[in-house]
A and B are shown apart, each in its own frame.
Chain A
Amino acid sequence: MAFGDQYAKWRVDTEKVPAACGLSGVMSRDGKRFGGDVIIESMRVLHDRGNGLGGGFAGYGIYPDHRDHYAMHIMFEDAAGRALCEELLEANLEVEVAEELPTRAHAGIIDAPDLRRYFARPRREVVAAEAIEPDDFMVKLVMKINKTVSGTFVFSSGKNMGVFKAVGFAEDVGEFFRLPEYDGYIWTGHGRFPTNTPGWWGGAHPFNILDWTVVHNGEISSYGINKRYLEMFGYECTLLTDTEVMAYLFDLLVRKHKLPLELACRVIAAPFWKDIDYERETERHDLDEALRITYASALVNGPFAVVIGFSRGMVGLNDRIKLRPLVAACKDDFLYVSSEESAIRQVCPRPDRVWAPNAGQPVIGELRGDV
């Protein structure tokens, strides 16, 4: 079999011109919940940026009835993996609900793995015995399953949020997972054009750990450095795709190290040394220098536009010289970010303001109250 033949069945349109990934994010800063059809319609405009080898979405606020449980979305390639995984879940978690992840037959989505959803929380006695925070316990459990259980991947593990992803075009993936039936206050979406790594179900975006999600256009050339750095803190990169490190970096920097979001972004898209030298007389200088030295291995190099989602908000961020497109817009309490303005205008025809964020400068939307 020639190299690449195993992916031949996914080559759906041989006339395609070279494209790039496409991404969008929509958020209500007042925490108003709206249907997943909005993000599907936005992604539909970006169809030609992807090539059908990966699409996915993250929705926040979609499981209010289970808000205190971790919602685990897991894909199984075989029954043996599922049996082993469910043993692990049973031993470690109180599983409140175990069910199929709802899908519908869709011509654009083929060869789906077994897709299951579990609402669960760590067993008190297990957490107590290990003297560990529930969030840390869940990170360890997800890493363990993804690394050791064959053909089994946890692709969503946060509370009151969920990741939905597949091989296919984004809008088809959204319909396959019946996203218009969910309501959330933040939605992000991604259409993939894989370049360096395979187009497989686990490699579609968003990437997730706990409530962190990342959709990404670009490539992370510092992947090796970032991966080895994250391994020192117990994160295992198992999904064969560079973007995975970004989700774990935000978990480490913001949840574990308690950096404000803006500083975490400044670690990831750190200013160049020449610019840090140039600001020598300003108060930013010492902070920027300290961040670059402390977090040298968390700097993300290479071209990227990303949208980060988490329970309290959404962040759009570019690499330091803006090698991938990113546009932002506001309308009332809504914040939009996308690869292209047209994808925003499709769902918000007349925004109050549309702008192109500067390289390395995050666009941060945070919730104004409780949800």
Chain B
Amino acid sequence: MAKAATNKKSELTAVTIDATGIYYKQLNEQVRDLIAEGCTDIVLDGVNGQRYIGDGLTTDGVTIVINGVPGNDLGVFMDGPEVIVNDNAQDGVGNTMNAGKIVVKGHAGDVIGYGMRGGKVFVLDNIGYRVGIHMKSFKEQVPVIVAGGCAGDFFGEYMAGGLLVLLGLNAGEIPLVGSYVGTGMHGGTIFLRGEVTDHQLGKEVRVFPLDDEDTCQLESLLKEFAADTGADLSGVSTGQFIKLQPFSHRPYGNMYCY
């Protein structure tokens, strides 16, 4: 139920909703209605498993804070707002997201950033399998995912554009990244803080050193990531990273052209 000090439209800029037991359809309708009324700061308490929070929202300057574990496809098709999760998140965070930012102050599940085409996803801890699958970019639209922990298999699978950054702050207990890294990748860039063996790599990618432009981009991203997630990056320096990129462009471009 929406709790606000006043129900005057003009003063409803900050609202807290107790989402406990509310079905995802009603919850997301409430969020939509509040934004339509001019609300810019929404806090969702007691979230547990509600899907599609932030789905297709297009308003810039809106922040949604989630206390609890949001359900799958958090921020799917989102195009502008910022979502902050003060807990863990599940699968499909940032699915086909176009603009805005999602900050998860815990771990997140599989297929994060599926087909993402803009905006940022920051995850403090580990991420699951197939993160960044089918990510793409066009001109100024460059999606970015940064994770402070480690990643599962198929990191950057079929990636066509954008940027993945993996910090592995807890690497050692578990491997930095699984197998099939960048399998089918034909665009975009992956920065890994640590080494990978050839056995872990998809056959379309190779390891390159970072150039000055990469270092500059990474430095500013790390600052933003630390500020948003509260991660301790005192032991992290850009010199610890390797870069993965595809070494062929459009490998199947001639497949149907003879």
Contacts and interface: CB of A to CB of B under 8 A. Distances in A.
B109 A359 contact: no
B38 interface: no
B241 interface: no
Contacts, number: 58
Chain A interface size, as a band, is: 20 to 34
Contact of B90 (A48, A322, A340, A346): A340
B107 A340 contact: no
A9 B71 CA distance: 30
Contact of A48 (B51, B69, B128, B129): B51
Interface string A320-354: 01100101000000000000111101100000001
Contacts of A45: 48-49
B153 A341 contact: no
A264 B152 CA distance: 23
A341 B88 contact: yes
A278 interface: yes
Contacts of A345: 48-49, 68-69
A356 interface: yes
Contacts of A341: 69, 88, 90, 109
Main secondary structure on A side of the interface with B? mixed
Most buried by B among A48, A346, A356, A358: A356
A309 B216 CA distance: 53
A326 to B, nearest CB: 10
Interface of A: 45-46, 48, 275, 278, 321-322, 325, 327, 340-343, 345-346, 354-356, 358-359
22 contacts: A45-B48, A45-B49, A48-B24, A275-B179, A321-B129, A322-B110, A322-B129, A322-B152, A325-B91, A325-B109, A327-B109, A340-B71, A340-B90, A341-B90, A342-B48, A342-B90, A356-B107, A356-B109, A356-B110, A356-B126, A359-B152, A359-B178
6 closest A-B pairs (Cβ-Cβ)?
Answer: A342-B49, A45-B49, A322-B129, A342-B69, A342-B48, A356-B128
